[in-house]
Chain A
């Protein structure tokens, strides 16, 4: 589909492209969002928040692992 200036796709593209181009405080906010997402997904998730069950149980054995953890519970 050709993207003419009257096409819906162009209008959507123009909305975002023009909007991002003319941002003022939005630039600062997007910078903060990007930094935050990097910190959350590339640092916190990777280094500090592993999936505990996936780390300790074999694939398909998750239920058995949780059963062992909860049914043999010792305080």
Chain B
């Protein structure tokens, strides 16, 4: 028995986390561009369908080519994450059971059938199918990718806010009791809307940057001038949409992950009428209360309040972390006792009693592994700055796209009358090009907030990282970490190279 006792190498959990983060960050380089370019190419082809001007078909094909490169390079990069679950996060994988399995299986089937079918029609079918069918295939390709993202985000949301499940002490798994609760949890809906809309921003920034490069080189001027208009409209609507969905996400987070919100604000002592920090020491009065509760007088708990327990505005009491630790330990002890009783054939009354203790304390199960209450505080500075980078860049994108549209439509006339988007000083175009990496930094910062903010939990309140990890040697995890780093860097270099070559080559005009 002693041989089976876990003695996890302290380093393995950190290497496993680092490896998962590396893989997820790399995977997320492709996904948002796929989702974003899908909208741009769909709009271009829709214009062609309506006008039947071959210029628009050539433009749509050009964006589809760039979409295809990104799509091909991103294929299967997400599968590595699933390998990591099975090897590095085996306790966690078992614990989440079929809750993760169902959305990921649906994602796999949808991704395979929908995307592989319609991608083929989109690329190979220009002269083979009717224009209407082709247009539908182009939009369905994007829709397929978006639906795939939905299921992945449902799985992620469940980790952040586990709902629709019941823990089975016999199988040691969480079992789904309501598919609808899992698939349509408010957390999942908010996350999906915010994530997908923010992905459109990346597609729009990328398309605007490509257009600006052409304008700077004074080539493909019509394509650049027309496409930048589309990119700017998509980008502006998406940036404003991301602000709105971000606000909704913040409200959900304030309800289900108050510690994450407190860490995002570096708010140690909360209260009512809380201001939002722009940078340390500079606050917008009432803004945090509004962001979290839609009420300038709203109560927002700080880190210390959450650690020590606090009274919610509705008068109910939130337990202190020490109390949650005690409840978690009761759950763990009862689970161990239940399993021993079952194994030894004890009376049903004994197992029933343990079952009731487990059920009563299961929401705090993970706290039973926490030795020091401060261990449940996520890294504050990472959350604080990642949140500011994401929001700051979001505001910059609103300004960027609004300025492009003002220039393109020369509105207001007094300011933009002499403004010709095709003949600007080069530094204007360089700003647009430099915004591409910054848009990725903003997007990845969003994920840093989402994932660092829920530390130390792999499943919120249920399973901390150091228990979810497998008893694997840290050396092997570190080895694959560096292997991935090398492989991913190489693949990224290849993608950028192919992409740049195709941009330099430009569109293929029919006439």
- Given A49-B86, A51-B87, A73-B467, A25:B65 Cβ within 8 A: yes
For residues 23 through 49 of chain A, which have their beta carbon under 8 Å from a beta carbon of chain B?
Answer: 25-26, 28-30, 32-33, 36-37, 39-40, 44-45, 48-49
Interface size class of B (residues with CB under 8 A): 35 or more
* A74-B480 in contact given A15-B128, A32-B494, A63-B170 (Cβ < 8 Å): no
Residue with the greatest number of chain B CB neighbours at <10 A, chosen from A48, A62, A67: A67
Q: Which of B68-76, B151-159, B424-432 contacts A (4 or more CB under 8 A)?
A: B68-76
Instruction: Give the contacting residue for B4; candidates A11, A32, A68; CB below 8 A.
Output: A68
| Given A19-B124, A26-B68: A71 touches B332 (CB 8 Å cut-off) | yes
Q: How far is the CB of B83 from chain A (nearest CB, A)?
A: 4
* With known contacts A44-B83, A49-B83, A15–B121 Cβ distance under 8 A: yes
Query: What B residues does A25 contact at CB under 8 A?
Result: 65, 68-69, 498, 502
B-side residues, CB < 8 A to A, are: 1, 4-8, 10, 65, 68-69, 72-73, 75-76, 79-80, 83-84, 86-88, 90-91, 93-95, 120-121, 123-125, 128-129, 170-173, 332, 335-336, 339, 369, 371, 466-467, 470-472, 476, 479-480, 483, 487, 491, 494, 498, 502
Q: Given A37, A48, A62, which contacts B483 in the complex, CB threshold below 8 Å?
A: A48
Select from chain B the residue with minimum beta-carbon distance to A40.
B76
A20 to B68 CA separation, bound complex (whole angstroms): 14
Is A9 close to B, CB under 8 A? no
- The list of the 9 closest CB pairs from A to B, nearest first, reads A19-B124, A52-B90, A49-B83, A29-B72, A63-B172, A52-B470, A49-B87, A66-B94, A71-B336
Known contacts A11-B128, A18-B124, A74-B6: does B79 contact A66 (CB below 8 Å)?
no
Further contacts, 7 of them, CB under 8 A, given A40-B76, A52-B86: A14-B128, A29-B68, A29-B498, A33-B75, A50-B87, A69-B91, A74-B7
Query: Given A53-B94, A73-B369, do A33 and B72 touch, yes or no (CB 8 Å)?
Result: yes
B508 nearest in chain A by CB position: A24
The secondary-structure label for the interface of chain B is helix
Which residue of A19, A36, A40 is within 8 Å of B120 (Cβ)?
A: A19
> Whole-angstrom distance from the CB of A55 to the nearest CB of chain B?
9
A binding-site residues for B, Cβ under 8 Å: 11, 14-16, 18-20, 25-26, 28-30, 32-33, 36-37, 39-40, 44-45, 48-53, 62-63, 65-75
CB distance from B390 to the nearest CB of A (A): 30
Enumerate chain B residues within 8 angstroms of A29, measured Cβ to Cβ: 68-69, 72-73, 498
Chain A residues positioned under 8 Å from B88 (CB to CB) = 52
Contacts of A52 in B (CB 8 A): 86-88, 90, 470-472
- In the complex the two chains form, is A63's CB within 8 Å of B171's CB? yes
Give every chain A residue within 8 A of B4 (Cβ-Cβ): 65, 68-69, 72
Q: Which of B1, B171, B480 contacts A48 (CB 8 A)?
A: B480
Chain A residues, Cβ within 8 Å of B84: 49
User: Once bound together, how far apart are the Cα atoms of A45 and B81, in whole Å?
Assistant: 11
- Report the separation of the CA atoms of residues A3 and B303 in the bound assembly, to the nearest whole angstrom: 69
Partner of B91, one of A36, A40, A66: A66
Inter-chain contacts of B494 with A (CB < 8 A): 32
Partner of B124, one of A15, A28, A32, A36: A15
Chain A nearest CB, measured from B479 CB (Å): 8
A-B contact pairs, 25 of them (CB 8 A): A15-B124, A16-B120, A18-B128, A29-B73, A32-B73, A33-B76, A40-B76, A40-B80, A44-B483, A48-B483, A50-B87, A51-B87, A52-B87, A63-B170, A65-B4, A66-B90, A66-B95, A69-B4, A69-B6, A70-B91, A70-B95, A70-B172, A71-B332, A72-B6, A73-B467
